[in-house]
Structure formats: structure tokens, C-alpha cells
Amino acid sequence: MTTTPLFPGFTPYRVPTPDGQHIHALVGGEGPPLLLLHGHPQTSAIWHKVAPALAQHFTLVLADLRGYGDSAKPEGDPEHQLYSKRTMAADMLAVMQHLGHPRFTVLAHDRGARVAHRLAADHPAAVQRMVLLDIAPTLAMYEQTSNAFARAYWHWFFLIQPAPLPERLIEADPGAYVRDVMGRRSAGLAPFDPRALAEYVRCLGLPGTAHGICEDYRAAAGIDLVHDRADHDAGRQLAMPLMALWGEQGVVHQCFKPLEEWQRVASDVRGHALPCGHYIAEEAPDALLDAALPFLLAGR
């Protein structure tokens, strides 16, 4: 039986990065460039419910973060520099420049939103505006970690354990990891298209993915905090328009004040909660489009 593709008509690209790796991206649509970045433990497949509407207005670039999907998965280094958000942001700048987009808008979820934050901080001339989904800034979340947050986001503290412990446990049953991590959120597995779920499982089972994911989180608990504190201490703020959206049934809403936290690091911020949990693009695609599309179109 033939399975309908998640992104019919999109063209795949394999784009080289500054450090000799590669990023896998799908490109489709027409209009100004919009970079879409996914989160953990997923791939660019998260955007399949909103891509058709967005593609009517934008040239979409759906990229897999390094360590995820079909992008490169280099062996990590002792300082986790290869998976720092600074390095991952440089990947995405290279992707967009390679495709002929020196300036662009960003829509990003979860880990991808953390990459987008660093991309905007390090390369402000490239990022016109951005929508960040269901996160507060990394530094704020670590500094305000509570018992409730640690229990709900247990994977933050599991994945940063020294290699190869978490890698070995994930690799023992990648499908179970995907289903357990995603299925234990507020909406369970019901929102996920079986094709997308199969893609997440396929990609987590690829050699090096478990290690790449762990390195992403190890960097977030180490070198990324160094970079974030340097911005804070220097008083640097994001200047481009920023929209923060989060799920009112999610942990970020329950444990933090995301709008206030983004207003501490950016000067032009707006946003609100949406009627869903963490996986906004798959749980509430219409609500996401209603909130984000006017903001994105305002930057055209």
C-alpha cells in the first residue's frame, strides 16, 4: 500500500555546514523565506499539518537539526561545542544562505526554538522576526527548576548523563522512547499522524541519533548556559519582533511565565497560551495558524 507523503511537492536538499557536516532540509511553497525548526524527539515532519497553509504565503525551509532526522550526527566533543546552540544556529544560517536567503523569518518549536533564540542573538541581521513555540529561555528554565518541573521534564536530566548510559537505553528500543516521551504529555499519542510518528521512530533508530540528541541536551546544560549568561551580563537583548506561544495544558505554562521571561531577553515581544499541550503544530494547527500567520505576514 502506497503511503501519501507528508510534504507532497517539496524538494529535499543536503546542505553543507561550516564545520563539514550537513543539514537535511525540505523546501516548498512560494514567497518570502520562512525557516521552520522542530523539537525533541522529532524531525521536520512536525510541520505537516500547517505547511500547506504556510506554503501559500512563504517559501518554507523545513530543516532537521544536527543530530536529528536525516541531518549529520557527529560524535560529540568533551565541551559539547559541536551541539551548542551557537553551532546549530550557524548550521541554519548556512542553510538559508545556501538557498539564497540572507534574511528570513523563523517559526520554531522546543529545541528548534532554542536554536532560533541563539540564531537571532548571534546573527540579528539575518532574522527578521520569529515565532517560538512552548519554551521559555533556557537559562530561565534551568535557574527556576522546581521539583514539579524536574519530574515533568525528567528527560532534561536523563539525557545529560555521561555517555553512553542514556544513548544505550534509547538505542535499546527507540520506538518505545518516542511513544513514552510523547505519549505521556497531556494529549497522549492521539494528535500524531501515524506517518509522522513512524518518521520519528525511523529517525531515532538511525545510527548516531541517540548520541546527537543527548549531546544537544548536554550542551544546553553547559556551554549554552555560558553563552546565555554572557548575553545577560552584557545586557544584550533581541531587537526583532518576537511572538511566544505556548500550550495552556503544558509544563511550560504550569511552571513558568513564558511571556515575562521572553520580555526579559527581547525588546519587542507579544504572545499568549493556546488551547493545547506541548506539541502545538500537531495538537492545534488551526489555533497556531490563527495566532502566528498574521504576525508572520506582517514582516513581508
Q: Which residue type does 12 have?
A: P
Q: Residue 202: which residues within 8 A CB-CB, separation 6 or more?
A: none
Q: 109, 211, 253, 278: which one is catalytic?
A: 278
Q: Which of 110, 224, 228, 231 is catalytic?
A: 110
Q: What is the CA radius of gyration of the chain?
A: 17
Is 22 part of the annotated catalytic residue set? Answer: no
Tell me the C-alpha to C-alpha distance, in Å, between residue 216 and each of 87, 120, 195, 232: 11, 18, 25, 21
Compute the distance between CA of residue 291 and CA of residue 285 in angstroms, rounded to an integer: 10
Task: Give dist(CA 29, CA 56) in Å, integer.
Answer: 6
Half-sphere exposure of 158 (CA within 13 A, CB side): 15
Distance of alpha carbon 231 from alpha carbon 130, whole angstroms: 19
How far does Cα 253 stand from its chain's mean position?
A: 18
110 in active site: yes
Give the catalytic positions in this structure: 110, 278
